[in-house]
Amino acid sequence: NKIHTVENNLNVKIDNKFNELDNKIDKVRDELKTDLTSVRSEIASVSNEVALIRKDMEINKIELDSKLDKSSSELKGKLKLHGWMSGTLITLNVGIFLTLISIVYSLL
């Protein structure tokens, strides 16, 4: 009879320990699930931020390209204008020089 009592006590203690372990395992599992959900949420947030940064970079690239195109077309226009003006000045100077030569030649 005493052996049965000791056996029952041991069985109860073993069952209690198993229940405690099961409860601890369940608690740790729940904490891990919560942590995993939190990490997934943070990853999604970072992913959204990266997507926004990529869009901003693309917009900045497009704006920079358009500014460069505008500047290069303005520069080309100015260079053409300066070339035309230089040609006109050279032509005028040659004309004046030839006129002066003809005047000097006629005086001699």
User: What's the pLDDT tens digit per position in 71-82?
Assistant: 999 999 999 999
**Cα–Cα distances in angstroms (integers) from residue 75 to residues 57, 62, 70, in the given order:** 26, 20, 9
The pLDDT confidence band at residue 108, using thresholds 50, 70 and 90, is: confident
Residue 2 has a pLDDT of: 92
Q: Cα separation of 64 and 51, whole Å?
A: 20
User: Cα separation of 26 and 14, whole Å?
Assistant: 18
CA 42 to chain CA centroid, nearest Å: 19
pLDDT tens digits, 11-26? 999 999 999 999 999 9
**Measured between alpha carbons, how far is 58 from 66 in angstroms, rounded to an integer?**
12
Q: Does residue 9 carry a pLDDT above 90?
A: yes
**Rounded to an integer, what distance in angstroms lies between the CA atom of residue 59 and that of residue 73?**
21
